[in-house]
Structure 1
Amino acid sequence: MNVRRRSSRSRLIATAAATTAGLLALSACGSSDAADGKGGKLDVVASFYPMQYLAEQIGGEHVNVDTLTEPGVEPHDLELSPKQTVDLANADMILYLKDLQPAVDKAIGQSGVKNTIDAATLTELEEHGASEDHEGHDHEGEDAHGDEGHGEEGHSHETESGADPHIWLDPVKYAEVAEGVGEALQKADPDHAAAYKKNTEELVGKLEALNKDFTDGLKNTETKTFITTHAAFGYLAERYGLDQEAISGLSPEAEPSPARIKELQETAEHDKVTTVFFETLASDKTAKTLASDTGLKTDVLDPLEGITDKSKGADYLEVMRSNLTALQSALGAK
């Protein structure tokens, strides 16, 4: 009896050991093997919409793309759920923009996923104007970020280096990121490298056409200055020779100081500004306050951090062209 029990126990131990060895072998497989077990598709997790769009456009039918930032959620404030953390750890590839979403950066560092692509490393980040203190929310340890010398209240959108992370709003820089993402997918899934290369070239071509539309459409305008609640458009302004004036940050509670309102009133009069822009994912309170005080119109200039039912377009290209139309109207394009 004791011999049979020992024999049975030995067989159970041997079976368990074999199962464990098998699981370890599976977990050690490369991304192509992982894709083969999922209908031949790579599981790509994107941190927020601009990264999601690249993964979907370049990956095409060969990837499954999940985004950590659901439509309507302000990406800077994202907190991950336990399920999202698990999904992140099980991803074949993670595409994100470092320093934009602290919760995502932390989770990626703990995920153990080797294929992590930081979009900030695929193009050159720049600073857009020195910081300047304004009245309002005081975030100790954070630098206010602004453009052309004007800071933001509320959230700080600078990277740790002080650079502006909003690279996707410049079609040229976004195209550079797209090329890097395409190369990363080709290396991660060489069986479909030709498709990724083709999709990358097609997307870059569309972004080049978008850049030409912006260049031509904003070449001759009555004014070069636009006012927006969120200083997200530094790259766009620099690319097309415009001047961005930001009111404050993204916090719905943040309001411009009386001094800032006066400064913007003077700028609006001097530079013949007609419109104060607000965005879809943040409060329009500050924009309407300034517009009311200065007798200006309001309109939407979308920083494209997420697509919702309120977005003026179904995807990146459509919304960017809506932004172009709004800027042409506000700046008096000829």
Structure 2
Amino acid sequence: MRSMMFAAVLMAAAAIMPSPAAAAEKIKVVAAENFYGDLASQIGGEHVEVTSILSNPEDDPHLFESSPSTARALSTAAIVVYNGADYDPWMDKLLSASANPDRKAIVAAELTGHKAGDNPHLWYELKTFPAVASALAAELEKRDAAHAADYKANLAKFEASFSELTKQVDAIKTKYKDVKVTATEPVFGYMADALGLKMLNQDFQTAIMNDSEPSPSQVAAFENSLKDGSAKILFYNSQVTDETTKRLLQIAKDHKVAVVGVTETMPAGTAIQAWFDGQLSQVDLALSGLTQ
């Protein structure tokens, strides 16, 4: 009799418990760029299912073309995260094509006060990731109040780890403020500013960013900054190596100018913190060579 009663209790408990499928249901997040996808994973933890559209560091982000699979992922997303400032204009078109009043779009440019025409490589500005992280945590708490404590804890953990990167930036700035550098594109521009570095040849970089041909005088000024030692580091976009970039890299090598590659897509199998730490360490090492 007792065994029958115990079996009945178990059956009743199973009836009121959520099924594994229901318990495992996650909030779908789609990120245009994989670093925003990584951020969503760090904030949402086990409660989110994240899809990143631009995720291959070997691809040129400027050549991206949307596909039916991208459209399908966006149509079922609860939260969408993208850069804005005309960096990923295809996102606006795709979202307009699959209107969903319940979907929340988190746009880095809107959170940080940037607009079309600004340098769109916003993730290298130190305020961007904390702003997007905070917005993500708030939206996840709104949609999933039962796990609000998890989102708050994850946000606090991210902010603490990112503050260590800020300290790393400040330490480099203290040692090398006002050192002159240059770049083939303004990808690392915001971070160079945060490091206190003096960026040369910005008109050349703007022309390249806007798919325009730099003028002969801009090209000459760039090459001279490498040849005469004015620029101590040449930053280049390692995802975009055209003939112009290859020529400038060779000039830098010939004149013993330090070269640091930066990327627009986070390397696979890493996290934002490790990605930034690696690039900052390269800068620190390149600059330390100036005093040896």
TM-score by length of 2: 0.78
Match of 2:265 among 294, 305, 327: 305
Worse overlay, 226-235 or 202-211: 226-235
Partner of 1:230: 185
Residues 275-320 of structure 1: CA distance to partner in whole angstroms, max 9, x if unpaired?
3222332116433312434524453331442325xxxx82322221
* Cα pair distance change 1:197/1:76, threshold 3 Å: farther
Match of 2:40 among 30, 35, 55: 55
Using the TM superposition, give the Cα deviation of residue 78 of structure 1 relative to its aligned residue in structure 2, in angstroms.
Answer: 1.9
**1:164 partner SS:** coil
Residues 218 and 328, structure 1, Cα contact 8 Å, conserved in 2: no
Match of 1:166 among 109, 121, 125: 121
Partner of 1:17: none
Match of 1:320 among 262, 276, 290: 276
Match of 1:39 among 5, 12, 24: 24
Distance 2:173 2:244 in 1: 26
Using the TM superposition, give the Cα deviation of residue 233 of structure 1 relative to its aligned residue in structure 2, in angstroms.
Answer: 2.2
Partner of 2:218: 260
Using the TM superposition, give the Cα deviation of residue 55 of structure 1 relative to its aligned residue in structure 2, in angstroms.
Answer: 0.6
Using the TM superposition, give the Cα deviation of residue 52 of structure 1 relative to its aligned residue in structure 2, in angstroms.
Answer: 0.7
Residues 44 and 66, structure 1, Cα contact 8 Å, conserved in 2: yes
Q: Is 2:60 the counterpart of 1:104?
A: no
**2:95 partner SS:** helix
Match of 1:66 among 27, 51, 60: 51
Q: Is 2:169 the counterpart of 1:214?
A: yes
Q: Is 2:287 the counterpart of 1:331?
A: yes
5+ long unaligned stretches in structure 2: 1-20
Residues 234 and 259, structure 2, Cα contact 8 Å, conserved in 1: yes
Give the counterpart letter for 2:259 in structure 1: D
Worse overlay, 189-198 or 314-323: 314-323
Match of 2:149 among 191, 194, 215: 194
Structure (1 or 2) with the greater helix fraction: 2
| Number of residue pairs aligned between Structure 1 and Structure 2 | 260
State the percentage of identical aligned residues: 27
Q: Is 2:245 the counterpart of 1:287?
A: yes
Worse overlay, 86-95 or 105-114: 105-114
RMSD: 2.8
Give the counterpart letter for 1:282 in structure 2: V
Worse overlay, 286-295 or 169-178: 286-295
Partner of 2:10: none
Listed as ranges, the matches of 1:84-123 within 5 Å are: 84-98=70-84, 99-113=86-100, 114-123=103-112
Residues 236-266 of structure 1: CA distance to partner in whole angstroms, max 9, x if unpaired?
1222221223554369x98755422321244
Distance 1:326 1:288 in 2: 20
Q: Is 2:270 the counterpart of 1:274?
A: no
Worse overlay, 259-268 or 81-90: 259-268
Partner of 1:26: none
**1:45 partner SS:** strand
Worse overlay, 283-292 or 196-205: 283-292
**1:305 partner SS:** coil
Residues 150-172 of structure 1: CA distance to partner in whole angstroms, max 9, x if unpaired?
xxxxxxxxx42x22222211233
Distance 1:250 1:280 in 2: 14
Give the counterpart letter for 2:185 in structure 1: H
Distance 2:137 2:87 in 1: 22
**2:191 partner SS:** helix
Give the counterpart letter for 1:327 in structure 2: V
Partner of 1:79: 65
TM-score by length of 1: 0.69
Residues 26-65 of structure 1: CA distance to partner in whole angstroms, max 9, x if unpaired?
xxxxxxxxxx858231111111122112111111111010
